[in-house]
Amino acid sequence: MPELVASRTDPSLGLRQVLLDDGTADPATDPGLPEPTLLAMYRELRRLRLLDEKMLLVQRQGRIGFYGEVKGQEATPIAAGFALRPDDWVFPGLREGAVMLVRGFPLATYLSQCWGNGLDVQKGRQMPSHYSGRAVHQVSWSSCIGPQIPQAVGAAWAAKLQKKSTVVAGFFGDGATSQPDFHNAMNFAAVYKVPAVLVCQNNHWAISVPSRLQTASPTFAAKAHAYGMPGVRVDGNDVLAVYSALHEAAARAREGLGPTLVECVTDRMGAHSSSDDPTRYRAQDEVDRWAARDPVARFRRYLAQRALVTDATDEALLSALGAELSEAIAVAEAAPALQRGTLFDDVYHALPWHLAEQRQELLGRPPARGHG
Ligand SMILES: Cc1ncc(C[n+]2csc(CCOP(=O)(O)OP(=O)(O)O)c2C)c(N)n1
């Protein structure tokens, strides 16, 4: 049996950090990544921040219906993209879609999901910001809070039964830990010792519900003890700390030692989504406190201190990223509309007669404006 009372050195109660306030890295925890990897991580962080800014404007201009920002929480999806192997699977929540961008999914195809156009691999069947990229081993979030956790654990169990070395990472927010799916998944994962890494992004809010109303546990990571798996609490605004925690948890899973719960302590700097107004429930001093811990600015301070970035390299990077994003948005907006007959694809191996009739009827009607 695991120890019932966590000791003070318990990693589920502490806060793992690499990036220190003075801009240096703690030599005791630094994963020691090579310079090209550090710069590639920085590029991805900046790309995601800029992508959010541009897409929120696109939404505000009425060009897409909805958008879920990642702002303030970029460190976890970007670190995950670097910590996982290409054959590992990702089951994201709303704020981890971009893991698949880090793993090489084409940007214009990714953004096309927000338009539900002919380039969208999900054929318009999800609301915006619910990306899917099976080519890079990532499935779509289902929009309900929680189901991706047992789905990730089930996929990990399948990998174990098939004797594959694949690890499955499942991501969710602090609010999701109040769902039965979290508890079912944690229990099953630990009992069957599946190769899963379960990542809770604790951004302190579930829309307007504060995290203190989600749990009376000292931390979210501490919940791991009850189920019999390790829990690790990490600074979620420290991309190197998240990288090292996820890398270690994935290695542990791959060795057959079972699942780990990782809590990434972070903040969402923006609204819950484009439909939310956080000024109705969140105090400005809280926003200001977290702005000082901005994950992108913190990593930049570290790289600048090592002379790996300067104002000039930043200017060139931002200009290249701006061009890349504008081009991808233009491709997505110019993409053809979906053919409406695709509505009937992919669900049944053989289309049942009544759906075949409905398809026929639909195709016989004049198309609605803007649809194929
Ligand atoms: C089962 C279910 N209940 C309620 C909702 C409405 N809802 C959408 S997002 C959200 C909050 C989720 O908070 P959290 O899990 O902390 O993730 P975050 O959005 O903060 O990343 C809620 C309640 C939903 N989508 N599904």
Alpha carbon of 206 to ligand 1 centroid (Å): 6
Instruction: Give exposure, 104-122, as e/b (b: 16+ Cβ within 10 Å).
Output: ebbbbbbbbbbbbbebbbe
Which of the residues are catalytic?
Answer: 268, 272, 281
List, for residues 50-61, the tens digit of each pLDDT value.
Answer: 999 999 999 999
Alpha carbon of 176 to ligand 1 centroid (Å): 7
The full DSSP string for 314-329 is: HHHHHHHHHHHHHHHH
Q: Which ligand 1 atom is at minimum distance from the Cα of 172?
A: 15
Q: Is residue 249 part of a domain?
A: yes
Q: Which ligand 1 atom is at minimum distance from the Cα of 273?
A: 19
Clarify whether residues 250 and 154 are in a common domain: yes
Residue 6: predicted pLDDT: 46
The chain-wide mean pLDDT, for the chain, equals 95
List, for residues 265-280, the tens digit of each pLDDT value.
Answer: 999 999 999 999 999 9
Clarify whether residues 130 and 56 are in a common domain: yes
Token pair of 6 as six digits: 């966590």
Domain hosting residue 359, numbered range: 339-372
176 ligand 1 Cβ < 6 A: yes
List, for residues 89-146, the tens digit of each pLDDT value.
Answer: 999 999 999 999 999 999 999 999 999 999 999 999 999 999 999 999 999 998 999 9
Clarify whether residues 72 and 203 are in a common domain: yes
Clarify whether residues 270 and 363 are in a common domain: no
Clarify whether residues 183 and 327 are in a common domain: yes
Maximum Cα interatomic distance, the chain, rounded to a whole number of Å: 69
As a whole number of angstroms, the distance between CA 104 and CA 135 comes to: 9
Asked if residue 273 lies in contact with residue 66, where contact means CB atoms within 8 angstroms, the answer is yes
CATH number of domain containing 237: 3.40.50.970
* Count of structural domains, the chain: 2
Closest Cα to atom 25 of ligand 1: 144
Which sign, positive or negative, has the C-alpha torsion 34, 35, 38, 39? negative
List, for residues 281-319, the tens digit of each pLDDT value.
Answer: 999 999 999 999 999 999 999 999 999 999 999 999 999
pTM value?
0.95
Residue of 130, 145, 179, 267 with the most ligand 1 atoms within 8 Å of its CB, for mutation: 145
> Which residue intervals of the chain are DSSP H helices?
35-60, 75-83, 99-102, 107-115, 148-161, 180-191, 223-227, 239-254, 284-291, 295-305, 311-334, 353-364
